[in-house]
Amino acid sequence: MMFAAAMAAILTSMAMLLVRAVQGPTVFDRILSVNAFGTKTVLLIAVLGFLTGRPAFLDLALVYALMNFISTIAVLKFTRVGSLAGGQQLPADAQALQGSEAPPETQVAES
């Protein structure tokens, strides 16, 4: 019963994070929501194991925690320097801040 309540709470909070991820407005809000969503997923897996009576599959929760961390770091590295491993600051980075409502950019041309 308590597991079901915890599950309901986790699902509700997932829904709220989903709204934040879709709304943005800045790209960082999306990254933050994805990261928080990953933590919620870890909790969901853990609770689900107990809910279904086979709690032995917690290895999965560990993988989620780990992958969530790595993708967050990768995303941050991407937004900060415009690449994943080394590279110079791109002028396009400023546009990352404006979110999806920004007017379409025109700097697709070769450089």
Partner 1 sequence: MAAILDLSSWICLVAGSFFALVSSLAVLRLPDYYSRIHGAGITDTMGAGLILLGLALQAGISLVTAKLALVLIFLVLTGPTASHALAKAAYRLGLDPVLNSEKDKASSSR
Partner 2 sequence: MVDVGLYNYWAVIVLMMTGLYVVIARSNLVKKLIGLNVFQVAVIMFYISIGKVDTGTAPILEEGIEAYSNPVPHVLMLTAIVVGVATIALALALVVRLYGAYGTIEEDEIAEMDAAEEL
Partner 3 sequence: MNGGVIDTGLIDMILLAFLVAITWAIVRLRDLFGAVMLTGIFSLISACLFMVMDAVDVAFTEAAVGAGISTVLMLRTLALTKGRSEPHHNRLELGPLLLVVVIGAILIYGTFDMPRYGDPQAPVHTEMAARFIEQSGEEIGIPNIVTSVLGSYRGYDTFGETTVVFTAAIGVFLLLGVPRRGRRAGDALRNDIVLRISAKALIPLIMVFALYVQFHGDYGPGGGFQAGVIWAAAIVLYTLVFGLARAEKIFRRRPLELLVAGGVLLYGAVGVVTMALGGNFLDYDYLASDPVAGQHYGILLIELGVGITVAAVMVALFFLFVRRRQV
Distance between start and end Cα atoms, the chain: 60
Which of the 8 DSSP states describes residue 104? P
Per-residue binding letters, 11-50, with partner 2 (x by CB under 8 A): ----------------------------------------
Q: State the minimum distance, in angstroms, from the CB of residue 110 to partner 2.
A: 4
47, interface contact from partner 2, partner 1, partner 3, none, CB < 5-8 Å by kind: partner 1
Residue 53 interacts with partner 2 (CB under 8 A): yes or no: yes
Q: State the minimum distance, in angstroms, from the CB of residue 105 to partner 3.
A: 6
Distance (Å, whole) CA 49 – CA 3: 10
